[in-house]
């Protein structure tokens, strides 16, 4: 750059023009999203190959950069907002969410202390309390926003550990007498439990996976036996992670009974409601909150089920001061910034610099209202059950798990009229799921192939998972743009792929 006049930012006139161009681009993108391929079909490395490897030396115009977004980035994406995206929990963004993200960008906040941005700190406190009210959590629960549930569970277990071994923060877990802690989570629980144990030095193997029952929920007698066995063997049971909405089937662990076991054994109860907790804004789902008031911590991911785009996860701790005690540490250069504050969010975790995540959530929650979000979630539940009815109506398929919230796990089981299988009408409507003998590796492979074929087509996207050692297909309803018509189209594609592959 030769001219000092070119320093500083883009000129206001040019910036205004670019913003208008971008506004049109965003509106066009949203409007035409449904006609794009849901997923690319390129080999790994295709995006890198299409972009210059050398860093830019000179300035390039915004139009050219946006052109590359159109040419290379957009076609290289799995479009999670696409109406035919039925993978994972189908999580979504929405028009209000996009507006919220856009407002956030120019504000350039660092919400590490109250004083570095009072509005961000206080809005986070407000929004977190709105969610607490929606979840019927007692007022003694306070929350903090992190990026993800994985980070939330790690912080929760750090508090559990500190309370069970009070000098850990200061000295670490050292010495011959240091307890070997055990954490229990169902075999269906998310792997973030192990990640937390790795990060906290508790040891991956000390996360004990508790068998699940016929409906993929934690087996309570197995939990009791495992705790008793560990106590006999001089381990120290530390915490149970109960899941409300497991990753594969969205099953819900029996929280009130698990709470009782935790109480009897003086253990920390963490509820992983990353997916399921958002659904309690539906009055008909209030029973999901049974036992929550007895928890020590609970995580909810509004980025999974409350319409806030990634990332936005809230960890609630009964008496948030317990979390602060473990993580507060004020370096000298920040001391002046921490005075007069009710709350400095840097005290509630390992992160110092913090984004203004609360703003996008605030925009979305106000735009939809609880009622609007509940109506949309209710529609996902309706669509999930409708899809399950279609599965039950075709005897080449079976449900692989009970339908829960917006998730359906199902399986292609063989050719139409196969003499080896009873018709769906003759099979029990509920459990046992996947009761047939395993060792159907051919069927596993066919289920995988159906998913691969559909995803490769770019017309729809679903996922596969393993349940009781069988490969099953899985859809997650969670996308605001998905309608019954889209779902019907996806089901017809699955049936056709099954006919093409399975005959
Ligand atoms: C039940 C459950 N818990 C935790 C997580 C981890 O979520 P995050 O990506 O926010 O760390 C997931 C991810 O899908 C999940 O399904």
pLDDT in tens, the chain (503 residues): 667 777 899 999 999 999 999 999 999 999 999 999 999 988 899 999 999 999 999 999 999 999 999 999 999 999 999 999 999 997 889 999 999 999 999 999 999 999 999 999 999 999 999 999 999 999 999 999 999 999 999 999 999 999 999 989 998 887 777 899 999 999 999 999 999 999 999 999 999 999 999 999 999 999 999 999 999 999 999 999 999 999 999 999 999 999 999 999 999 999 999 999 999 999 999 999 999 999 999 999 999 999 999 999 999 999 999 999 999 987 777 777 676 667 899 999 999 999 999 999 999 999 999 999 999 999 999 999 999 999 999 999 999 999 999 999 999 998 654 444 555 555 554 457 787 665 567 899 999 999 999 999 999 999 999 999 999 999 999 999 999 999 999 999 999 999 998 65
CA-CA distance, 268 to 294, in Å (whole number)? Answer: 10
Strand 181-186, strand 207-210: pairing: parallel
Ligand 1: which of 80, 146, 192, 308 to mutate, most ligand atoms within 8 Å of CB? 192
CA distance 406 to 475: 8
313 lines ligand 1 (CB under 6 A): yes
Nearest CA to 303 among 125, 100, 473, 474?
Answer: 100
Ligand 1 centroid – CA 385 distance (Å):
23
Rounded distance between C-alpha atoms, residue 146 and residue 150, angstroms = 9
Cα 356 versus chain centre, distance: 19
Tell whether pTM > 0.75: yes
Q: Which residues pair with 300 in a beta bridge?
A: 273, 314
For ligand 1, say whether the CB of 190 is within 6 Å of any of its atoms: yes
Pocket test for ligand 1, best of 275, 308, 465 (most atoms within 8 A of CB): 275
Q: How close is the Cα of 190 to the center of ligand 1, in Å?
A: 6
Sign of CA dihedral 374, 377, 381, 382: positive
Residues 320-369: pLDDT tens digits? 999 999 999 877 777 776 766 678 999 999 999 999 999 999 999 999 99
Q: Is 275 in the pocket of ligand 1 (CB under 6 A)?
A: yes
What's the helix, strand, coil split of the chain in %, to 5?
A: 50, 15, 40
Cβ atoms within 10 A of the Cβ of 456, count?
12
Quickly list DSSP for 1-17: ---GGG-SSPPHHHHHH
Report whether residue 150 contacts ligand 1, using a CB cutoff of 6 Å: yes
φ, ψ of residue 291 to 5 degrees: the values are 90, -10
Separation of CA 116 and ligand 1 centre (Å): 30
Query: Of all atoms in ligand 1, which is nearest to the CA of residue 247?
Result: 16
Enter the tokens of residue 287.
């029973």
Q: Which residues contact 330 (CB under 8 A, 6 or more apart)?
A: 338, 347
Q: Are 224 and 234 in contact (CB under 8 A)?
A: no
Q: Which ligand 1 atom is nearest residue 88's CA?
A: 14
Q: Is the CB of 192 under 6 A from ligand 1?
A: yes
Given the CA of residue 246, which atom of ligand 1 is nearest to it?
1
Is residue 142 within 8 Å of residue 325, measured between CB atoms? no
Euclidean distance between the first and the last CA atom of the chain, given in angstroms as a whole number? 65
Ligand 1 contact, 246 CB (< 6 A): yes
Q: Is the CB of 301 under 6 A from ligand 1?
A: yes
Q: Which residues, 6+ apart, have CB-to-CB distance to 465 below 8 Å?
A: 247, 248, 409, 471, 472, 474
CB-based burial label for 426 (10 Å; 0-12, 13-18, 19+): exposed
For ligand 1, atom 14: residue with the closest CA:
247
């Amino acid at each position: 750059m030769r001219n000092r006049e070119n320093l500083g930012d883009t000129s206001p006139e040019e910036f205004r023009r670019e913003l208008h161009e971008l506004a049109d681009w965003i509106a066009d993108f949203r409007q035409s999203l449904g006609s794009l391929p849901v997923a690319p079909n390129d080999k790994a490395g295709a995006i890198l190959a299409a972009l210059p490897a050398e860093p830019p030396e000179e300035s390039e115009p915004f139009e050219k950069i946006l052109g590359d977004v159109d040419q290379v980035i957009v076609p290289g994406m799995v479009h999670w907002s696409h109406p035919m995206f039925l993978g994972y929990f189908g999580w979504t963004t929405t028009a209000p969410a996009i507006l919220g993200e856009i407002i956030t960008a120019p504000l350039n906040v660092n919400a590490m202390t109250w004083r570095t941005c009072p509005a961000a700190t206080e809005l986070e406190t407000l929004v977190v309390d709105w969610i607490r009210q929606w979840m019927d959590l007692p007022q003694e629960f306070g929350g903090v926003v992190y990026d993800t549930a994985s980070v939330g569970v790690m912080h929760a277990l750090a508090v559990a550990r500190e309370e069970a071994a009070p000098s850990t923060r200061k000295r670490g877990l050292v010495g011959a007498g240091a307890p070997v802690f055990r954490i229990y989570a169902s075999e269906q629980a998310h792997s973030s439990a192990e990640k937390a144990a790795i990060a906290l030095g508790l040891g991956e193997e000390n996360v004990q996976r508790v068998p699940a029952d016929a409906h993929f929920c934690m087996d309570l007698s197995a939990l009791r036996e495992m705790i008793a066995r560990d106590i006999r063997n001089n381990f120290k049971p530390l915490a149970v992670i109960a899941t409300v909405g497991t990753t594969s089937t969205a099953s819900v662990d029996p929280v009130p009974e698990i709470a009782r076991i935790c109480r009897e054994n003086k253990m920390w109860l963490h509820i992983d409601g990353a997916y399921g907790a958002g659904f309690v804004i539906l009055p008909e789902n209030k029973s999901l909150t049974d036992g929550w008031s007895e928890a020590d911590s609970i995580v909810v991911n509004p980025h999974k089920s409350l319409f806030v785009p990634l990332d936005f996860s809230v960890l609630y701790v009964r008496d948030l001061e317990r979390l602060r005690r473990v993580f507060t540490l004020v370096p000298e250069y920040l001391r002046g910034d921490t005075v007069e504050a009710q709350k400095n969010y840097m005290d509630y975790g390992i992160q110092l610099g913090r984004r203004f995540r609360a703003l996008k959530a605030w925009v979305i929650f106000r735009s939809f209202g609880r009622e609007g979000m509940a109506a949309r979630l209710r529609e996902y539940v309706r669509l999930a059950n409708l899809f399950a009815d279609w599965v039950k109506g075709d005897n080449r398929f079976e449900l692989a798990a009970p339908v829960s919230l917006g998730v359906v796990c199902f399986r292609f089981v063989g050719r139409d009229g196969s003499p080896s299988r009873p018709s769906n009408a003759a099979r029990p409507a509920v459990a046992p799921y996947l009761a047939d003998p395993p060792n159907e590796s051919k069927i596993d492979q066919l289920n995988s192939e159906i998913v691969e074929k559909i995803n490769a087509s770019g017309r729809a996207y679903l996922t596969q998972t393993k349940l009781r050692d069988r490969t099953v297909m899985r859809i997650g309803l969670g996308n605001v743009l998905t309608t019954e018509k889209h779902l019907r189209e996806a089901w017809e594609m699955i049936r056709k792929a099954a006919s093409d592959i399975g005959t």
